[in-house]
Amino acid sequence: MIYVDGFVVAVPAAKKDAYREMAEKAVAVFKDHGATRVVECWGDDVPDGKVTDFRGAVKAEEGEIVVFSWVEYPSKEVRDAAQPKIMADERMKTPPDDVPFDGKRMIYGGFQTIVDA
C-alpha cells in the first residue's frame, strides 16, 4: 500500500515563485530516491477554524499562505530507505537565507494509506 509523507508550511505570498522553484528541484531528488509522486498545493481556500486550523498549526502570519504537500512512496520501507539519502543529497543543500519559509513552523508526518479510491 502507498506510504505518504505529508507537510504543511506557511510561505510568504511574495515568495511563491521561489517556493515553486525550490519544490520543483526537490521533486527530482525525491523521485531519484524512490518517491512515485510529489504534490505541492498553494493555499486558496484555507479558512480560520474555531478550535484549530491549518494557519494556526503552522503559526501563519499576515501575508503568508499555507502550503499543503505530500510525497508518495510505494511502501514505508522504500520511504525509510530514501529519507537519509534525500537529506544527504547535495541537491537538497540550500543556504538558510535561500529557503523561502520558516522550517521551524513546518508540520510533517508519515502516513499509511487506509483508503485509496
Q: How many helices (H) and strands (E) does the chain have?
A: 3, 4
Asked, for residue 104, whether it belongs to a domain, the answer is: yes
Q: Is 9 exposed, middle or buried (0-12, 13-18, 19+ CB in 10 A)?
A: buried
Return the amino acid letter for 90: E
- Reply yes or no on whether the pLDDT at 95 is more than 90: no
Q: Which residues pair with 66 in a beta bridge?
A: 10
Domain with residue 83: its CATH number is 3.30.70.100
- The number of distinct structural domains making up the chain is 1
- Reply yes or no on whether the pLDDT at 1 is more than 90: no
Which H helix or E strand runs over 106? Answer: none
Each residue of 19-70: pLDDT tens digit? 999 999 999 999 999 999 999 999 999 999 999 999 999 999 999 999 999 9
**CB contact at 8 A, 101 and 10:** yes
Q: What is the pTM of this model?
A: 0.93
Q: DSSP labels for 38-52?
A: EEEEE-SS-PPPSS-
Q: Could you tell me the residue range of the domain that residue 52 belongs to?
A: 3-112
Looking at the chain, the whole-number percentage of residues with pLDDT higher than 70 is 100
- Average the pLDDT over 98-115 and give the result: 95
